[in-house]
Structure formats: C-alpha cells, structure tokens
Amino acid sequence: MVGANILLVDSNRAHFENTLNVFSQIGIQYNLCFAKDDIQAWLMLTGDKKLSPLPKIMLIDINAEGINGIKLIEKIRLDIDLKSTLIFVISDINNDKNKRAALNLNIAGYINRSFEIEEMINFFSILNDYWNNIEFSS
C-alpha cells in the first residue's frame, strides 16, 4: 500500500507532527493526512476536499476536545465506501464510556497514546508490520 493515505484526526497539530516524524524515522511509506476535528475529517472523506485515494486506515483521538469521534466512526460504518476502513482509536485520556462505544463500532484497536518517542516508534513499527501484511478491500 505504498503511497496510500492514512488519516489522523486529532485536535492537536503537534501530535500530527510527532507521528509524521516517527513515520519518517521508521520508513513508513504512507501519506499521513491531518484533520483537526470530525467535521474536517468527514469533508476529507466525502466532501469537496475528498482524499484520493480514500484512506484505508484512520487514527482518531475520540477523547480530544472539539472532536466527536464516536459520531464520526458511526458515520463511517454506515457509508458504503468507508465502512471497511481500519480505525484505530488513540488517546491519552481513559474514558471507559467512549472506549466501549468505539469497540462496539468494530474499531481495529484502542490504544493508549504514549508521547515517549521510543514507545511511539515501537507502536508504529508494529502497526506498520500489520498494515503491510493484511489485505485491504478494493
């Protein structure tokens, strides 16, 4: 999937920059795109600013201020073109209600975000191996 898009939905641009840096260090060959909230993300998935190709993988901080991540995941799961998207929830906030809601929406995983560079490298290395060994729907 070299050159494919991954969409990160997070209200903190620094998280995007850190993730982009880790992708570069590891050699992840995906285009990392950034949406600051669920509204911008939805427009990037379906609107005039639609990403091409559509991302097969999304990373969403559902607990970030200004993001209604559960609502976004619900909309994705109902959309014929998006419902097979692999969604990983990442968050540094432990919110059991949101965690249960996300898991009930068939996310690929719920991950507690670490800001330690070594842990980020380890985490994204494992995900990259996974992403490169699974078959995505067309």
Q: Which residues contact 71 (CB under 8 A, 6 or more apart)?
A: 38
Half-sphere exposure of 122 (CA within 13 A, CB side): 8
2 has a pLDDT exceeding 60? no
pTM for the whole structure? 0.90
Per-residue pLDDT of 73-97, as tens digits, reads 999 999 999 999 999 998 878 888 8
- Proportion of the chain above pLDDT 70, given as a percent: 94
What residue ranges define each of the domains in the chain, with the CATH number in brackets? Answer: 5-133 (3.40.50.2300)
Per-residue pLDDT of 5-46, as tens digits, reads 999 999 999 989 999 999 999 998 889 999 999 999 999 999
Which residue reads 């840096």 in tokens?
21
- pLDDT for the residue numbered 34: 96
